[in-house]
Structure 1
């Protein structure tokens, strides 16, 4: 039921240097050509496929200028040729190399990263450009570097005029908020798993635009809409739904001009969907611990580590557990429906003796150096399936393409250096098969095949 399709393969021998190799896959969004970049310590293979995944061109070259550097990302010029970004933390630099497939030549440039007064938050590709987002060390600001057609444009994003508070309503600086709540990048158009969406600070990547959401407060979601062309930053505040008792955990998720918010305590779950432009509530739900969650399309589940999830017996047990975790929700749309995963994740740290006895040994017979800590990760969640018009459905959840990719990689240990690319209606998995010594491209779609 979780089958997948092999689209193409290409023979390449990485010998015994797999640990020092990388594979990255990218789409030229103007031409819809797909590129595979396979880097070993001493060579680089660039494979160019058309939109139907037929191999159209290739460029095999050495690693001159990029020895001991890691492949950070890519962009595409207007002539269709790729530029790769090779990063060296030791040298505090990025080597940009544009590769000309038509005559098998390349041109290199060096970009010095200002790591003395900035640190890297994230990097990503969007609309054939490469973006590097950095945090200023001594200023209440971010800096965005936009690499386009071989040029780097610097954008200084000043947050010093805005006010911030922590969960105890104490004033904090922008830097303090991000230090306590590191930013997690949300992948646009893809399913973002629960462990990512529980972050209190999220960055959503849109064309020429960023949305930064801050959820450290139980009372409100603070959003900053950042125009990367004009550098204008607009602040928007969305109050969270209020229940009869104080919340224990809360969060939000932005998706296609709507903000989804939850507030949770052991007695109730509050869930709101608001219009991003007006702030008006579109849908609002209050679920008490005695209720059945009527917008749930799955059982209430608990998962410990990567074991099979087990059912929780009722809403009260679910809310009690969720209240002690970092809550989050993920919204994902495919061709048919809107999928919402609502839950929370956390960890439990237990101290255990080397002999298997509990730390609180009543006899006190074990010296302190006989103990070690075990951290167990666990989550609780349920899944909700809606129409694109935000109407409830009775449908049952079918596996996402990402679920199938994780399952495939878990059961095929010969597949290494895995990299995924979201295309129009499927996910392309590229990896190196150590048995056949090939780069393999496989197609995964949502639903049962």
Structure 2
């Protein structure tokens, strides 16, 4: 009886700790849910948190301090219909701004909230893109809003940086560097990005394997950007772009050499590059400090061996179905080897969680029975096409900072608890999930209670 009571108390403790209410306010949103939007923003300089919520007529800004206590709010009119969505945010001296954009990002309107004086300023921007300039991605990092583009037929990127009520344009010139394709033949950065696309990685949050499977990734760091290329299975090509003068340095980090040809990918976090390479017969996992390659550490297993550095079973998950377990390493490598190789690394409270494997898209079972058994694996940016289901083949591992394997029970992550909290509840809309000071902040609108709420979720410790 005492053991049962202890288990119940432990479950109650974990349930209570899984989420912490932060803020709740009554909010009446005008009808027309197509106009309802929300955007969460974090201020790294002044340690504060903001949320923007709109309906068809108005835009409301909420501000919380670094301890996530509510400070104040401001309401203004929503931009006219020419502006379709909130594309990003910036902060200037603690004052948040939000950028509304047209669908093609050619027109933007910045709204700047001065809580101390209860005023909202506005600025309109007509973007000077060239006719054949391709928009790659938009993101908000370190209190600025960025639009990154690819000019046609040039080995350069253009960066439009919004803050302080205006924007600047920076050109990142790669023409002085050499590029080869997956077959080691000469090519250009423009050709590579046009084929593989470019994936912006969230530096402070969990990255799923579908996202990390992309071959070209961009990481925004405090004083630089990292552009990593893994299209050639022989090496990871890394460009460090100084975000003061936009000068570029390049380094090459070779992948492990396996007996047979193999696919590879990498993931960057906290000054280290984690590389995964595998085929049907072997798998290799390597960690290297970018500033000191001599400390590189490698794990390896063959199809005939048990993967001794894993903490989870070898799993395969299709869509939202429950994962199935592979019976042995050989079956796992055969499936993962025919997928787009992917690795993701995430900082938990006391460990590094590595998720490794591959992702591919498959036709639903009914279509396969009808004879359309197509499988698509890694490559161009359209690998996750319509009408297909995503299949992830993976395992999870825990390591310390020196990349020593830690054979502990895997922790429950904040994102897992968020999924359980929101799953199946149709009353919760306008959901945002934002990393903030090591926690995740879930924002949502409860349509039944007509309230907007914020709740905090934390990762658990491994044991």
CA RMSD across the alignment: 2.2
> Which position in structure 2 is the counterpart of 1:342?
356
> Which position in structure 2 is the counterpart of 1:71?
86
Q: State the SS of the aligned residue for 1:221.
A: strand
Q: Could you report, residue by residue, the CA deviation over 1:248-307 in whole angstroms, capped at 9, with x for unpaired residues?
A: x21011111211111111111122212212333521122111111111011111111111
Cα distance in 1 for partners of 2:237, 2:372 equals 42
Question: What is the aligned counterpart of 1:284 among 291, 298, 303?
Answer: 298
User: Aligned in 2, Cα 1:17/1:301: closer, same or farther, shift over 3 Å?
Assistant: same
Q: TM-score, normalised by structure 2?
A: 0.89
Query: How far did residue 374 of structure 1 move?
Result: 5.2
> Which position in structure 1 is the counterpart of 2:152?
137
Cα distance in 2 for partners of 1:17, 1:121 equals 30
Cα distance in 2 for partners of 1:353, 1:417 equals 34
Q: Give yes or no for the alignment of 1:105 onto 2:109.
A: no
Q: Give yes or no for the alignment of 1:439 onto 2:458.
A: no
> Which position in structure 1 is the counterpart of 2:399?
386
Cα distance in 1 for partners of 2:240, 2:79 equals 41
Query: How far did residue 428 of structure 1 move?
Result: 0.4
Q: Give yes or no for the alignment of 1:153 onto 2:168.
A: yes
Q: Where does structure 1 lack aligned partners over 5 or more consecutive residues? A: 361-372
Q: Could you report, residue by residue, the CA deviation over 1:53-78 in whole angstroms, capped at 9, with x for unpaired residues?
A: 33221111112457543111111111
Cα distance in 2 for partners of 1:408, 1:327 equals 31
Equivalent pairs counted in the alignment come to: 434
Cα distance in 2 for partners of 1:393, 1:74 equals 39
Q: Where does structure 2 lack aligned partners over 5 or more consecutive residues? A: 1-13, 374-385
User: Aligned in 2, Cα 1:359/1:49: closer, same or farther, shift over 3 Å?
Assistant: closer
User: Aligned in 2, Cα 1:267/1:90: closer, same or farther, shift over 3 Å?
Assistant: closer
Mean alpha-carbon deviation: is it higher for 317-326 or for 264-273?
264-273
Cα distance in 2 for partners of 1:91, 1:376 equals 30
Q: TM-score, normalised by structure 1?
A: 0.91
Q: Give yes or no for the alignment of 1:417 onto 2:454.
A: no
Query: How far did residue 392 of structure 1 move?
Result: 1.4
Mean alpha-carbon deviation: is it higher for 13-22 or for 296-305?
13-22
> Which position in structure 1 is the counterpart of 2:141?
126
- 8 Å contact kept, 1:259–1:275: yes
Q: Could you report, residue by residue, the CA deviation over 1:302-352 in whole angstroms, capped at 9, with x for unpaired residues?
A: 111111111111111111111000011111113211111111100123696
> Which position in structure 1 is the counterpart of 2:414?
401
> Which position in structure 1 is the counterpart of 2:65?
50
- 8 Å contact kept, 2:349–2:460: no
Q: Give yes or no for the alignment of 1:92 onto 2:106.
A: yes
- 8 Å contact kept, 1:420–1:428: yes
Q: State the SS of the aligned residue for 1:180.
A: helix
Query: How far did residue 353 of structure 1 move?
Result: 7.0
Query: How far did residue 395 of structure 1 move?
Result: 0.7
Q: Could you report, residue by residue, the CA deviation over 1:385-421 in whole angstroms, capped at 9, with x for unpaired residues?
A: 1122322111111221112222322232211111112
- 8 Å contact kept, 2:37–2:54: yes
Q: Give yes or no for the alignment of 1:313 onto 2:327.
A: yes
